Amino acid sequence: MLDKKPGQLIEFMPEPEAEALAETLIAFANADGGTIYLGVEPGGKVRGDVFPEEVEGVLGSAQRMCRPPVRTEWEQIETPSGTVIALTVYRSIDLHSLKDGRVFVRAGAENRLLSGDEIRRLASTKPTSAYEEEPIWGATREDFDETIIEEYLKKREEREGRRPPGTVEEILTDIGALTREGQPTVAGLLLFGKHPQSLLPQSGLVFVRFMGNEPRGPKGMVGYGRREEITGPLCRVIERAWEVVWEEMKREAVVKGLVREDRTEYPPFAVREALVNAVAHRDYRLRGRRIEVRMFDNRLEVTSPGGLPGYITLDNIVDEHFSRNPRIVSGLFYWGFIEELGLGIDRMIEEMVNAGHPPPEFKATPYSFTVTLYNVQEHPALMAWERDMNERQLAAINYIRQHGRITNREYRQLCPHVSAETLRLDLADLVKKGVLIKVGDKRGTYYILK
């Protein structure tokens, strides 16, 4: 536990303090939930001076600051260095705020204050955010695949260093795969079902390989050369989708020195991240449409049914994280398909740019979200941007393509005879045009391609 660090699902607090605790309770409840470890320094060192009686009093004060109160459970953990209190916060279908009206969400290792528009977007999604927890009429415990369950438990043990406590039935209930009455939920059937598509037909995936750059062939004929319908529990859907894309990807041999390397048409991480995100974050309420993976000669498109969840927009998608299906996301995280929550989009962009490709293109509608990966060095949007850039800005873009990011200091080194104020305005102009995204603050600021 203490080898971990604060993040999307974890916070360390050296000593309980009511206002800071209330803020974190609200942030976790409005996002994916999480665990607060009281009596632990940010670096993971146990202080050993936290007492249950003290925690009860502070937690009561914190809950009185929350509107409405946040559902929590806590347990006392004894370590060689002293006592730690683990406070579990659950994802809530309610919108929680402090008594003064401020609303926070968990964003990485920080509690972020939402703006008015973001609060309205988040509130509008709350009544439908618990679909994955609904029981499925007609499903029974026998619809679960015991092999898949055991595989999940083994993967989780490898990731956490220990098997979850309790019987299999208790674990399935605890993670939301079964209701307290033993009824399979939407999340449970999707994660562990023998054939989830028999009751949730929308949960499959369709792969189509088109011949050329358009979905139609000559004279309006069908233009695809391969079509695959992929079904099964979500872990198998991801694995099979990756296998099919891998089979269709072009590969070339590159010799560096005396070493021969195989270079793929698309960076493997970027492809896997697009597939996993589509499966994890799609809106499973939407019937009649499955995830679509469309491969063309010049691009790969992954379309997931359902618009962007919660307060996420195309402008903040790199920096923010919000799960429509937190139980499904948690299951895939423990399975190993998700490395660290909230960092996948950022790394997807870096992998594409570092491989010499344009950054991924994101398109959102009220009922779908599409990620497009280009296998070419340029595409029309980039060329349009470059026509409006000066030579310094073009040099900055080329630097980012090679290194993944650029800082103000690195830009000054690229253009040593230009004033710092002019270079600052150059970068601000690229951010305003939507070419770059500014990440961080003050000395930690850097820029990446949007």
Q: Tens digit of pLDDT for each residue in 25-46?
A: 999 999 888 999 999 988 888 8
Residue in the structure block whose two tokens are 């690195």? 410
CB atoms within 10 A of CB 390: 11
Q: For 202-374, CATH number? A: 3.30.565.60
- Domains of the chain, by residue range, sit at 10-115, 133-199, 202-374, 380-449
Query: C-alpha 164: how far from its chain's center?
Result: 24
pLDDT: which is higher, 310 or 58? 58
Model pLDDT, residue 379: 45
385 pLDDT higher than 80: no
* Over residues 333-345, mean pLDDT: 81
Task: Tell how far CA 365 is from the center of its chain.
Answer: 19
- Beta strands (DSSP E) in 176-333 are 205-210, 224-230, 251-256, 259-264, 291-295, 299-305
Greatest mean pLDDT among 286-290, 400-404, 437-441 lies in: 286-290
For residue 218, name the pLDDT band (cuts at 50, 70, 90). low
pLDDT level of residue 372 (50, 70, 90 thresholds)? very high
Q: What is the pLDDT of residue 260?
A: 61
Phi, psi angles (nearest 5°) of residue 307: -75, -175
pLDDT tens digits for range 280-338: 999 999 988 999 999 999 999 999 999 888 788 888 787 777 888 989 999 999 998 98
pLDDT attached to residue 314: 83
Report domain 380-449's class: mainly alpha
Angle subtended by helix axes 234-248 and 146-160, to nearest 10 = 80
pLDDT in tens, 117-173: 889 888 877 765 578 999 998 999 999 999 999 999 999 999 888 888 899 999 999
- Which CATH class, in words, describes the domain spanning 10-115? alpha beta
pTM above 0.95, yes or no: no
Grade residue 377 by pLDDT with cuts at 50, 70 and 90: low
